[in-house]
Amino acid sequence: MPLQNRVDPFGQIHAVTARGMFMGNRGGCFHRDDQTLKPTHWASRQWITCLLDFKGRKRTLMQPGRYTELFFLDEVTSLAAGHRPCYECRRSDAIAFRDALLARGVYTKNPGAGELDDAIAGEIQVRFKGYASAPTCQPADLPDGAILSLNGAPYLKWDGLARLWAFEGYGAGMPLPVQAVCLTPKVTLEALRGGYRPHVHPSISQPGESRSTH
């Protein structure tokens, strides 16, 4: 049986066999010694997205008392779920993300990691606690890389089209709906608007699609 460690764009964690492009964590350990998850699926607001391979480090998943490893289809999935780029293993991406926010005027000076965590993971935690819901939106106004929900299903906006999200990859492009629910947090949307280019699963570039990943 696969471990419950694959994250969808809503931030929910599942046990599926599909693999992903990135791993990450939510600031510590929230699994039991038998590798099942505790009721609260985070340990702090330090929700980060990491490389699968960094400096040859190897570790056994879900070790007792160690941080709970999570996995994502791609970066846009992790961004929608409330994670940000890691400043250690993805430093250049983390700086690019921060600089995009500065370019948009969201911050007037370099924000600290904790400040970003409070804004981004904090927004998702508020949703999980039931104090707020993901906002409605007009998808035409969202930047590429945002993930929206239509009738409970997640779609990635990419090249002006909506692509159905799945743990295995993306479906064919379809016209954007007039209205939907935006899953990607507000601050992350501003980073995308400010020029941050997220990593997207290769299924986005099937024949007939015009844009490749980086």
Does the residue 38 lie in any domain?
Answer: yes
pLDDT in tens, 74-87: 999 999 999 999 99
Cα–Cα distance measured from residue 134 to residue 7, given in angstroms and rounded to the nearest whole number = 17
Name beta bridge partners: 70. 24
Q: Which residues of the chain have pLDDT under 50?
A: 207-214
Does the residue 211 lie in any domain?
Answer: no
- State how beta strands 6-7 and 70-72 pair: parallel
Does the residue 1 lie in any domain?
Answer: no
Start-to-end CA span in the chain (Å): 33
pLDDT in tens, 16-64: 999 899 999 999 999 999 999 999 999 999 999 999 988 877 888 999 9
If one counts the domains in the chain, the total is 1
Does the residue 213 lie in any domain?
Answer: no
Q: Model-level pTM?
A: 0.94
Does the residue 154 lie in any domain?
Answer: yes
The SS3 of residue 124 is helix
Q: Tell me 175's DSSP state.
A: P
Give the pLDDT of residue 206: 67
Does the residue 61 lie in any domain?
Answer: yes
Give the domain range for residue 167: 6-205
Does the residue 180 lie in any domain?
Answer: yes
Closest CA to 184 of 146, 150, 149: 146
Cα–Cα distance measured from residue 181 to residue 29, given in angstroms and rounded to the nearest whole number = 30
